[in-house]
Amino acid sequence: MLWDVATVRLVRTLKGHTDWVRSVAFAPDGRLLASASGRLYTSESVNTTVRLWDAPTGVPLRTLKGHTREVASVAFAPDGRLLASGSGDGTVRLWDVASGQLVRTLEGHTNWVNSVAFSPDGRLLASGSYDKTVRLWDAPTGALLRTLEGHTVLVLSVAFAPDGRLLASGSGDITVRLWDAQTGALLRTLEGHTGYVRSVAFSPDGRLLASASDDKTVRLWDVASGQLVRTLEGHTDRVYSVAFSPDGRLLVSGSWDKTVRLWDVASGQLVRTLEGHTAEVWRVAFSPDGRLFASGSWDKTVRLWGVAP
């Protein structure tokens, strides 16, 4: 899809969460949007929810409850039947999307689970935790397959490459690490950020890896060589999330400066700054068809942005 970035606009604001929105994710068919909520550093469980929305209309469909602490991350399985959620209660939960029922609870992490991601074939589920580890689970059975150790501080983000062979992790130790997803072997450590690495994302062709950091930058890395390709600068506060458009031409980033920014991947140029959130932007995600992208914020809302018809 060719974007006319001049026509990018706010489509709608989704309200319903009663606390900070910490994660957003589109289902593979683009019909559903999941959002996760909860307040950092609190024992209150009343506001801990995952919500499912009809993405085209913004109508709330279902609220998933069960976690006992704030929910930090959500991810749909490739077939759209399962939704994974990672929480401050140290667990990963798998939900049946159609019914909203809890399918399974994965236990093993000893601290907050900040990020979850399915492999492209749906066989593996990765989780990154404040316990400094990445864990790989058998998605169909919930069995723990292996624990990846090497980060020296909390793991904040995990992402599979499009071919499923690589797994990337971003950490508070200011590094990005690339792992063999099948063996768990550490392949490469990417260094250059000067603050926590909050988010990692592969480009659709798997050639680039984007990382977002507390150092207010987004960095693009060549996956094959591990070399830094370019640094995207413009945000005035820590950058918490990045996501590529499905065609790989654009990158969206969300920041504590309350803005969402769109970047041209080929040139690294900033093409749009989107304002409207009244608090820090925690997470961003593109729809599968590239017509929409979502941003979740500490202002308790999810905003959907798109191209004017």
pLDDT at 127: 98
Give Rg (Cα) of the chain.
Answer: 17
Task: For residue 5, give the DSSP letter.
Answer: G
pLDDT number for residue 213:
98
Burial of 224 (0-12, 13-18, 19+ CB in 10 A): exposed
Give residue 308's pLDDT band: very low, low, confident or very high (50, 70, 90). Answer: low
| pLDDT score for 19 | 87
Res 3: pLDDT: 53
Q: Cα(3)–Cα(8) distance, rounded to whole angstroms? A: 8
Domain at 11-307: CATH architecture = 7 Propeller (2.130)
Q: Kind and range of the H or E element at 83?
A: strand 82-87
| Euclidean distance between CA atoms 307 and 125, whole angstroms | 33
60 three-state secondary structure: strand
pLDDT of residue 24: 98
Q: Which pLDDT tens digit goes with each residue over 52-106?
A: 999 999 999 999 998 988 899 999 999 999 999 999 999 999 999 999 999 999 9
Q: Is 165 in contact with 180 (CB distance < 8 Å)?
A: yes
- Cβ atoms 151, 140 nearer than 8 A: no
Percent of the chain with pLDDT over 70: 94
Give me the chain's average pLDDT, please: 94
More confident residue, 183 or 19: 183
Tokens read off for 184: 């768990």
pLDDT of residue 45: 46
CA-closest candidate to residue 23, choices 79, 67, 81: 67
The string of pLDDT tens digits covering residues 4-59 is 666 789 999 999 888 899 999 999 999 999 999 887 554 554 567 899 999 999 99
| pLDDT, tens only, 140-182 | 999 999 999 999 999 999 999 999 999 999 999 999 999 999 9
The pairing of strands 166-171 and 155-160 is antiparallel
The pLDDT assigned to 86 comes to 96
Question: Considering the entire predicted model, what is its pTM?
Answer: 0.95
pLDDT, tens only, 252-293: 999 999 999 999 999 999 999 999 999 999 999 999 999 999
And the tokens for 111? 């601290």
State the CB neighbour count (10 A cutoff) for residue 222. 13
Q: Which residues are CB-contacts of 141 (< 8 A; sequence separation ≥ 6)?
A: none
